[in-house]
Amino acid sequence: MDNTKNILLGHGSGGKLSHDLIDGIFTKHFKNPILDQQSDSAIIPINSKNLAYTTDSFVVDPIFFPGGNIGNLAIAGTVNDLAVSGAKPLYLSVGFIIEEGFPICDLEKIVVSMAMDAQEAGVKIVTGDTKIVDRGKCDKIFINTSGIGELEDKYLNVGSGSGVAPGDKIIINGSIGDHGMAVMAARNELNIQTHIESDCACLNNMISKATSSSNGIKFMRDATRGGLGTVLSELVKDSDYGISIDEDKLTVSESVRGLCELLGFDPLYVANEGKVVMVVSEDDANKVLESIKESPFGKEASIIGEISKDHQRMAWLNTSVGGRRVIEMLSGQQLPRIC
């Protein structure tokens, strides 16, 4: 790489610059067959079983926001990455990087939230590490979590979506854009007051009920950074099918929509922390939808569109006013430190 170039905030956006960094630096030097799969979790065959293994770091600003804090994110992020890979999350590690002067009562608040979420999700935090840096050398607290889960054979390909075919239905478990806009609104510099709460939640219990109710779930991905739009455009990118989504079927809360209008964001690309996108066979779609709706995190779940034979490699949005447009991968727009 060019030695005059520096890291830009855009390298962390999850968009094209991030991909360039991953391909141009990380996978280039770390190269191995497991990493090359580039899915949310690495799938590692050990003896006759498959383990899912994933890691994620959290630098959200502010660390406390309506609907959660950095600790809730750190558990949910890793648990959900495992769950959407078709795995049952089992064990987590936690690493803290803390700035000198950080209030211990705030640390405890964060840790209590993590312990409660882990218990509810049925995962154990089994190892950890703490580093303290000089004041000003990091912003309050950064957290890394890694997790291991056990994969069910029937969901070995659910992360890649290799079984997806025309006619399959697309399900999401509720409203979009809540997390990103809750964090944006909580930032002091904006001086905005809203009632938006982050949707941050561990989805593994909801997902495992759905997966045990059906053999027809062909793809799962949590719609975090980059939002629903990015998940859909990534799924369709190298495929031989198209996607068609009805804007009318998407749930966007009144306040999220208002704030997006104000700040010029498209809710399709705003981060979520408790939303999973599933592609399910037509026959099983309603059964899976009903199962998701039973969960407190899936009450507003709906079928938002389907996989189609037409417009291959493109995700179409049928707009609420009867128009049509392409859903592209997020490229360039950025909300730094959203998770």
Partner 1 sequence: MKYIDEYRNKDIVAYFANQIKNISTKPIRLMEVCGGHTMSIQKFGLPFLLPDTVELVSGPGCPVCVTSREYIDRAVAYSRVEDVIITTYGDLIRVPGSSSTLEKEKASGADIRIVYSILDAMLIAKENKNNRVVFLGIGFETTAPSSAAGILKASTAALNNFFVYSAHKVMPPAMETLIDEGIQIDGYVGPGHVSTITGKGIYENIPAKFNMGVVISGFEPVDLMQSIFMLVKQFETNDPKVEIQYSRVVKPEGNVVAQQMLEEIFEFRDDWWRGLGILKNSGLQIRSKYEKYDAEKMVSVEVEETIEPKGCICGLILRGEKKPKDCGLFGKICTPSDPVGACMVSSEGSCHAYYLYNR
Query: Where along the sequence are the contacts to partner 1 (CB under 8 A)?
Result: 6-10, 13, 15-17, 189-190, 257, 261, 264, 266, 317-326, 328, 331-333
Rounded to a whole number of angstroms, the minimum distance from the CB of residue 331 to partner 1 is 4
Rounded to a whole number of angstroms, the minimum distance from the CB of residue 247 to partner 1 is 9
Angle between helices 285-293 and 204-213 (to 10 degrees): 150
Rounded to a whole number of angstroms, the minimum distance from the CB of residue 297 to partner 1 is 27
Q: Between residues 16 and 88, which has the closer beta carbon with respect to partner 1?
A: 16
> With contact defined as beta carbons under 8 Å apart, do 85 and 39 qualify?
yes
Rounded to a whole number of angstroms, the minimum distance from the CB of residue 2 to partner 1 is 12
Rounded to a whole number of angstroms, the minimum distance from the CB of residue 89 to partner 1 is 33
Distances (CA, A) of 90 to 118, 209, 252: 10, 16, 33
Q: Between residues 43 and 260, which has the closer beta carbon with respect to partner 1?
A: 260
> With contact defined as beta carbons under 8 Å apart, do 226 and 15 qualify?
yes
Q: Between residues 286 and 319, which has the closer beta carbon with respect to partner 1?
A: 319
Cα separation, 216 vs 282, in Å, equals: 8
Q: Between residues 219 and 265, which has the closer beta carbon with respect to partner 1?
A: 265
Q: Between residues 62 and 167, which has the closer beta carbon with respect to partner 1?
A: 62
Closest by Cα among 40, 47, 24 to 84:
40
Contacts of 108 (CB under 8 A, 6+ apart): none
User: Three-class SS of residue 45?
Assistant: strand
Pairing relationship of beta strands 124-133 and 87-99 according to DSSP bridges = parallel
How many C-beta neighbours within 10 Å does residue 278 have?
Answer: 28
Angle between helices 104-121 and 204-213 (to 10 degrees): 10
Rounded to a whole number of angstroms, the minimum distance from the CB of residue 26 to partner 1 is 18
Annotate 172-197 with b (16+ C-beta within 10 A) or e (fewer).
Answer: bbbbbbbbbbbbbbbeeeeebebebb
Closest by Cα among 84, 87, 86, 62 to 73:
62
3-state helix, strand, coil in the chain (%, to 5): 35, 25, 40
Q: Between residues 286 and 320, which has the closer beta carbon with respect to partner 1?
A: 320
Q: Between residues 11 and 218, which has the closer beta carbon with respect to partner 1?
A: 11
Backbone φ, ψ for residue 14 (5° rounding): 85, -5
> Could you write out the DSSP letters of every residue in 238-279?
T-SSEEEEEGGG----HHHHHHHHHHT--GGGS--SS-EEEE
Rounded to a whole number of angstroms, the minimum distance from the CB of residue 317 to partner 1 is 7
Q: Which amino acid is at 276?
A: V
Rounded to a whole number of angstroms, the minimum distance from the CB of residue 43 to partner 1 is 29
Rounded to a whole number of angstroms, the minimum distance from the CB of residue 10 to partner 1 is 6
